[in-house]
Structure 1
Amino acid sequence: MHQSNQTVSSRRKARILDQPVWPTVKHWLALGTADFRNHLGHSILYGLGLVTVIWLTLLALGYFRLGWMILPMISGAMLLGPLTTVGLYRISRRAQGLGGQGVAAPGQIFLVSVVMMVLILTWVRAAVLLFAVFFGLRPFAGFWETLQTLFTTPQGILLFVTGSITGGLFAALGFAISVFSFPMLVQRDIDGFSAMGLSFNATTQNFRLMLAWATCVTALSTIAVLTGLLALIPLFPILGFATWHAYADLFQD
């Protein structure tokens, strides 16, 4: 009987927050900023680690003349954002006194990570196919040549619009199934597919709120890219902590 109650509790759906959208988003960011300040050392370490990995990846793509993959990979990296903040979720959970240092379902985190990687690889493949549709089987250009083609030719502009819409659909799906599944698997002993389903349900049931949150994350991520990723060092942990508080608001016991 105890196991049955635990199962029901683990699969409890999110609340529907009947609160003003942007003040709620601002509140989550404020809580995330407070956690960032309270755990400054760990936060900076996480931010530096992520930026270092991204820059090494970009350098590798440039070295192997795969610059055309940079834009799809940047959008794909945003899909993996929730996974890379698992350690930050653990810090926030301990700070709230909601558990120890471990992860409730580490194997299921791996499962959801595999699903997200498949989604990213599918998006990269779709980007390749879109390029072939608009430009045929010509060799891929480098990053700067690709940018010039995208914004100075009719075919390039059409490819950019089509690719943005397609990438947006992939990003929306990835966001919906992952934004709360990773913090949930840190907190709850639940299977990965149930976690993704509950995350998707929470996103759709709080559509306006989560659209605002996704817009905020995208805007701050864009700012980080425009600063050469330097702004990502503080923004990454702040958004990670804030996402935990969003999860706590929606799925609090």
Structure 2
Amino acid sequence: MELTEHLRKPARHIDEPSGIVVLRWLEAGWADFRAHFARSILTGLALAVIGWGIALGLGAIGQGWMILPVIAGAMMLGPMATVGLYRVSRRRAGLGCGGIAAPGQIFLVSVVMMVLALAWIRSATLLFAVFFGLRPFAGFAETLMTMFTTPAGIGLFLVGSAVGGLFAALGFAVAAFSFPMLVHRDIDGFSAMALSFNASTQNFRLSVMWGALVTALIGISLATGLIALIPIFPLLGYATWHAYADLFES
């Protein structure tokens, strides 16, 4: 019973300035990145290749307008791909060198995040139909131009950003620390998601800054055609582990 309660201990509240804390996480993540440079680059490259494949596939079937919603949904699934990176940081931090503590629960949380991502993609489809009607897709470039030059397009962008932001905030709150926690602690997935949500709300300003930084770096990755994602993704993965360790294991 005491062990179970220890595994479910909540996050601590960090009183330091958020900028200093985030910088500390990034510095620790950068140290892991340099120590495992080849593995980190290969991980980021694999994710970029998957992203390119999805974009080409959607374009080939005439669903190019789905590229941005799918990429936004993929951001919710990002923590699933960082489990291996968490193990690297965990080992370097001296918090264990074995396998994943709760692999079955990681699968459970992954399913929850996939459902959330699919719900967002479905919502994006409905929003597109509401603002543009059931007309044929004109092409990604044409639709992107329409989105920023017509009242309907601007309305879709604003409403879609608000709805997508709610999905992203919920996904971040429940997944940001639950995945590294399940790598380290043998607890159930719903407890991990609850603890992650609690950590995000208890350290609200810090979580907002961290989420904004992640969003900005992902935006840079998209602007560079996912090229910048190759180093950014593993860096964020390592830094997220150190964020979890700072909040839960200090």
TM-score range, shorter chain: over 0.9
In 1, distance between residues paired with 2:169 and 2:137?
A: 27
Name the counterpart of 2:3. 6
Matched, 1:114 2:111: yes
Name the counterpart of 1:93. 90
In 2, distance between residues paired with 1:146 and 1:188?
A: 46
Tell me the amino acid that sits aligned with residue 151 of structure 1.
F
In 2, distance between residues paired with 1:16 and 1:104?
A: 25
Q: Is the 8 A contact 1:67 1:141 kept in 2?
A: no
Name the counterpart of 1:48. 45
Name the counterpart of 2:29. 32
Q: Name the SS for the 1:155 alignment partner.
A: helix
Return the offset for 1:221: 1.0
In 1, distance between residues paired with 2:122 and 2:222?
A: 23
Q: Please give the residue correspondences for 1:1-253 in structure 2 after superposition, counting only pairs within 5 Å.
A: 4-252=1-249
Tell me the amino acid that sits aligned with residue 55 of structure 1.
W
Return the offset for 1:139: 2.4
Q: Name the SS for the 1:137 alignment partner.
A: coil
Identify which range, 94-103 or 205-214, moves more after superposition: 94-103
Q: How many residue pairs align between the two structures?
A: 250
Return the offset for 1:36: 0.2
In 1, distance between residues paired with 2:197 and 2:138?
A: 37
In 1, distance between residues paired with 2:182 and 2:70?
A: 25
Superposed CA offset, 1:185-227 (max 9, x none) = 0000010111000000000000000100001111111111111
Instruction: Provide the aligned C-alpha RMSD in A.
Output: 0.9
Return the offset for 1:105: 0.4
Gap runs ≥5 in structure 2: none
TM-score, normalisation: structure 1:
0.97
Overall identity of the aligned pairs, in %: 66
In 2, distance between residues paired with 1:132 and 1:43?
A: 40
Superposed CA offset, 1:123-178 (max 9, x none) = 01111111121122222332112201211110110111000000000000000000
Gap runs ≥5 in structure 1: none
Tell me the amino acid that sits aligned with residue 236 of structure 2.
L
In 1, distance between residues paired with 2:155 and 2:215?
A: 22
